[in-house]
Amino acid sequence: NAGVTQTPKFQVLKTGQSMTLQCAQDMNHNSMYWYRQDPGMGLRLIYYSASEGTTDKGEVPNGYNVSRLNKREFSLRLESAAPSQTSVYFCASSEAGGRGYTFGSGTRLTVV
């Protein structure tokens, strides 16, 4: 099993450009999440999807949008990238809310 697969692994964007981070899981999990990790600040929740067809804002949603395309896939879109969005982005999934997560390998994004 691949678990949680994220693409791309690395990306450099110019300020104002847009991009979509892709995430797919093959564990039949109901819930999926997007986090960003910045030095000294830990992981912060951007958006989550408790089940197929639903999405909700997390702690730091501004500047991002998400789509739960189907049960397997949950994408994160940056419409107009800003330097403050330079970070490592992790997708995660779980059987349900309140259960432990399986994380993808991460996307290291730099906005210049």
Partner 1 sequence: QKEVEQNSGPLSVPEGAIASLNCTYSDRVSQSFFWYRQYSGKSPELIMSIYSNGDKEDGRFTAQLNKASQYVSLLIRDSQPSDSATYLCAVANNNDMRFGAGTRLTVKP
**Does 9 participate in binding partner 1 (rule CB under 8 A)?**
no
**Does 103 participate in binding partner 1 (rule CB under 8 A)?**
yes
Least Å distance between CB 71 and partner 1?
16
Our CB check for partner 1 shows the closer of 72 and 103 to be 103
**Structure-token pair, residue 57:** 């804002």
**Does 102 participate in binding partner 1 (rule CB under 8 A)?**
yes
Q: Collapse the DSSP code of 80 into the 3-class scheme (helix H, G, I; strand E, B; otherwise coil) and give the result.
A: coil
x-or-dash string of contact with partner 1, 33-52, rule CB under 8 A: x-x----xxxxxx--x-x--
The radius of gyration of the chain's CA atoms, rounded to the nearest angstrom, is: 13
Residue partners of 81: CB distance under 8 A and separation at least 6: 13, 14, 15, 16, 17, 18, 19, 109, 111
x-or-dash string of contact with partner 1, 57-86, rule CB under 8 A: -xx---------------------------
Burial of residue 3 (CB within 10 Å: 0-12, 13-18, 19+) is: middle
Interacting residues toward partner 1 by CB under 8 A: 31, 33, 35, 40-45, 48, 50, 56, 58-59, 90, 97-106
